[in-house]
Amino acid sequence: MKKNYKFLNNINFPSDIKKLSHNELKILAQEVREEMIDAVSETGGHLGAGLGVVELTVVLHYIFNTPNDKLIWDVGHQSYPHKILTGRKDKIRTLRKGNGLSGFTKRAESEYDPFGAAHSSTSISSALGIAMANKLSNKSDNVIAVIGDGAISAGMAYEAMNNAGSSKTKLIVILNDNDMSIAKPVGAMRAYLAKIFTGKIYFSLRETVKLIISAFSKRFSKKAGKAEDFLRSAVTGGTLFSSMGFYYVGPIDGHDIDALVSVLKNAKEVNYEGPIMIHIKTEKGKGYSFAEKSEDKYHGVTKFNVNTGVQEKSKSNAPSYTKVFANTLVKHAEKDSKIIGITAAMPSGTGMDIFGKKFPSRMFDVGIAEQHAVTFAAGLATEGFKPYAAIYSTFLQRAYDQVVHDVAIQSLPVRFAIDRAGLVGADGPTHAGSFDITYLSTLPNFVVMAASDESELVKMINTSIDINDRPSAFRYPRGNGIGIELPNLNEKLEIGKGRIIKEGKNIALINFGARLNECLIARENLIKKGINLTLVDARFVKPLDENLIWQIATDHEALITIEEGSIGGFGSHVAQFLNEKNLLDSKLKFRSMFLPDRFIDHDKPDLMYKYAGLDATNIENKILDTINSKVVVKKSN
């Protein structure tokens, strides 16, 4: 910590906060906000969300007895103030760096993080589970879930609320309504929450706070009467939440510490068997003018200048894979009115914002609802449209049943643009695209491709346009391409056909995905050692280029596959083919390189791939070990 703060310097754990007066809490909140801005300016990360919950974070730790009382942050990207106040302020400048603090909540990091999160809409479910465990164990500790207005629109949150409403288990849910998740929230829930505020006298008036406090005291007695009725009609608008079994209170000003203290204190102390919903209104990016004025409220930032708000720009002149995808799809959509863009609350992250600006009536942001996004796309496909579901690999995992049941079994031509394939750097294992090769290539009726560079990505998009009899997917990494010329829209791939990049002798390396450049570096290093290997870019895992693999296997003494995915992917499909064709005999050594059987913590991407054993040096060593190895993979019985 660089500054001499009046109170924050002496706050090491939440117990220290409890010594402060209400007015001192306000000063502490400002200091936490200042420290967070300063730290994130050095590390990059999620800024706007944390700025919006500073007062709430301070008051939650002031009122509740954490870590005995469990505080669960949905997604966890807003937890930086929480980390500053829970014994981690001296490490806050290690956020998202190797061996540093996670950008999300993480159980292994602190006892104040009772549930790890980085994907949306899990907080109410996990909190209810903890609350039920407390009930079964006769423990009286409180459980508090903080969920955003975007996250609460997801199906899992509804399922959890439905269960909680009938559980007769005390649970406090704080709905943090900032009218802004990553992008503008969409759908009926957004309209409903907005309606609650229309014409209401709320949060800034002392009388409102008194009424809310009165509601707690009266609602939980047998003599609840006109005061409560008046409160429900004049102050609250939580009919939906009430109908689901929650006692709804709000809306409250989430930046008014006095109001938050009063309401949360009563929620903690009241003897009520059932869930309570406290609806607060906050401003994402609060207290930092550049974030407040920004369209995305500085949701995610690189390092930046605190005084100017200017963020560091990428040093690469090559376009990002995401923009290559978006711009290519726009060009196709200009010629084909059947092309539809779909994203699940990630328009800017997937490039669908670019598509949406050009074709607003043909781009659908369905909110944090990947399951719905996939089946929605399937419905469009049945009517002859060409839906492109642009979803991160890690988020598509949440819709796997829909991919299987609604798309694959019916062989519907939904196109999946899988962004963030492979390891993603600072966001860590929760956002890594480690499993999509395996979970998609195991499905019948699928075409599964992986781009080795941005030129190949364009060709795969071009190819997918004409795949009208089955689903298809193409994966590509986060970040920028390698800076090569892009092909025109007419350059397409023959489905299921790979390509030989370099011809050599004795040993062959078959790449699937974006490790090709590292393979080329390894090959150049090996040439200096007198080893000239064949390098192949597979392009497809499904259908597999069996003719090419047969040729490579019979013409070489050793064959190695490499991919940015888990076991069970490309290498497994190649091994199965070789085994079926009796090619795994004493004449052929076969090895596979893939992500190790562990989750890899956040770091710089190149270091993560080094730890994973998939950088040029490890590729080179693998080839040398294979050449020198006397151990042979024998065919199975």
Residue 321 identity: Y
| Residue 173 and residue 224 in contact, taking contact as beta carbons nearer than 8 Å | no
| Residue 176 and residue 254 in contact, taking contact as beta carbons nearer than 8 Å | yes
Q: What angle do CA 628, 634, 636 make, to 5 degrees?
A: 160
Residues in the chain, total: 637
Rg (CA), the chain: 27
Residue among 277, 140, 283, 131 at smallest CA distance from 212: 277
Beta strands in 393-502 (DSSP E): 415-419, 447-450, 472-475, 499-502
Q: How far apart are CA 52 and CA 32, in angstroms?
A: 12
Residue 120: burial class (beta carbons within 10 Å; 0-12, 13-18, 19+): buried
SS3 state at 452:
coil
Structure tokens at 276: 């309570």
Q: Which residue has the tokens 């409102």?
A: 208
Q: How far apart are CA 63 and CA 384, in angstroms?
A: 56
Dihedral over alpha carbons 240, 242, 246, 250 (to 10 degrees): 80
How far is residue 15 from each of residues 7, 12, 63, 179, measured CA to CA in Å? Answer: 13, 8, 10, 32
The secondary element (H helix, E strand) that includes residue 482 is none
Number of H-type helices and E-type strands within the chain? 26, 19
Q: How far apart are CA 349 and CA 459, in angstroms?
A: 21
Any idea which residues carry the catalytic annotation?
284, 370, 398
| Residue 89 and residue 78 in contact, taking contact as beta carbons nearer than 8 Å | no
| Residue 129 and residue 136 in contact, taking contact as beta carbons nearer than 8 Å | no
Q: Which residue has the tokens 């100017």?
A: 308
Q: How many CB atoms lie within 10 A of CB 486?
A: 17
| Residue 509 and residue 534 in contact, taking contact as beta carbons nearer than 8 Å | yes
Q: Which residues pair with 300 in a beta bridge?
A: 46
User: Taking phi first (over 0 means left), then psi (-120 to 50 degrees means alpha), and beta for anything else, what does residue 96 get?
Assistant: left
SS3 state at 331:
helix
Residue among 374, 463, 385, 435 at smallest CA distance from 566: 435
Q: How far apart are CA 80 and CA 288, in angstroms?
A: 15
| Residue 412 and residue 133 in contact, taking contact as beta carbons nearer than 8 Å | no
In 3-state terms the chain splits into helix, strand, coil percentages (rounded to 5) of 45, 15, 40
Residue among 614, 613, 559, 551 at smallest CA distance from 585: 559
Q: How far apart are CA 609 and CA 562, in angstroms?
A: 12
